[in-house]
Structure 1
């Protein structure tokens, strides 16, 4: 990282960012170009979780190549200025890479949904069978991550 004074090296701080985040940008391989999507997610035990439909472009990409990149960011404060270049933000972010695993079994889906619901402070369990049967869970095992902040 060019600006080493802005780097977040503390693992606990990186995990707090992931635990408190609500949306991640997920980058996948799609032939010659990357495919990036914003997704709601849950974080637990060095893994990110999200749900999806039984078919679609996202799954096509992940089945072709499960290696992904992700970013979770938080704007802490916008800094206004008199001139355009005086404007800025105070932020924190974590970027990383990992390998996606598609979870199709009922118990695995429930465990992943519980992690996502806890991330948002919602109720866990008692998922409708039609929702479990009509969705898949994706678990991303984080292989590397780094953070940056400007506070």
Structure 2
């Protein structure tokens, strides 16, 4: 089995669109890693995340706003020979992106970000109460670097 490197933007965005969760990696200034699963929205090279106004992730981001986001989908256990343990592999597709978190504070842009996040999961239209919008922390991450791989593809015979 082999690993394929994907560079086409359209294919990368299709993988991201299939995901329901992303994993966000942060690094504190003492180099302590912190990875959290999050709901997200994606539009035109930007990932939108949301959280409470305070907490460990917000504290870390105040010191180091650089993050890494991983998307992974289409997981399946595959093998070349059922009796050979080393021939087993997890087939999957993944995208890894890096960027800097900017917190969106504009009320209307926060609503737009919430719409983008909700669009990842449903095609419904939503309204948001003013307190809900004011109390949510919106993370905006323009992905400046992306890698994409497909793992566990069969070798062509």
* TM-score (norm: length of structure 2): 0.86
SS in 2 for 1:82: coil
Instruction: Confirm or deny that 1:58 pairs with 2:57.
Output: yes
- Contact 2:91-2:150 within 8 A present in 1 as well: yes
Q: CA deviation at 1:113?
A: 0.4
Q: CA deviation at 1:29?
A: 1.8
What is the aligned partner in structure 1 of residue 130 from structure 2?
Answer: 129
What are the residue-to-residue correspondences of 1:28-107 with 2, within 5 Å?
A: 28-30=26-28, 31-79=30-78, 81-107=82-108
SS in 2 for 1:6: strand
Could you say which structure has the larger radius of gyration?
Answer: 2
- Number of residues of Structure 1 aligned to a counterpart in Structure 2: 148
Q: CA deviation at 1:131?
A: 1.7
* TM-score (norm: length of structure 1): 0.89
What is the aligned partner in structure 1 of residue 19 from structure 2?
Answer: 21
Q: CA deviation at 1:120?
A: 0.4
- Contact 1:103-1:138 within 8 A present in 2 as well: yes
Which digits, 9 at most, give the CA deviation of each residue in 1:42-96, with x for residues without a partner? 1001000111001111111112111111110113422263343232221110112
- Contact 1:110-1:125 within 8 A present in 2 as well: no
Instruction: Confirm or deny that 1:120 pairs with 2:133.
Output: no
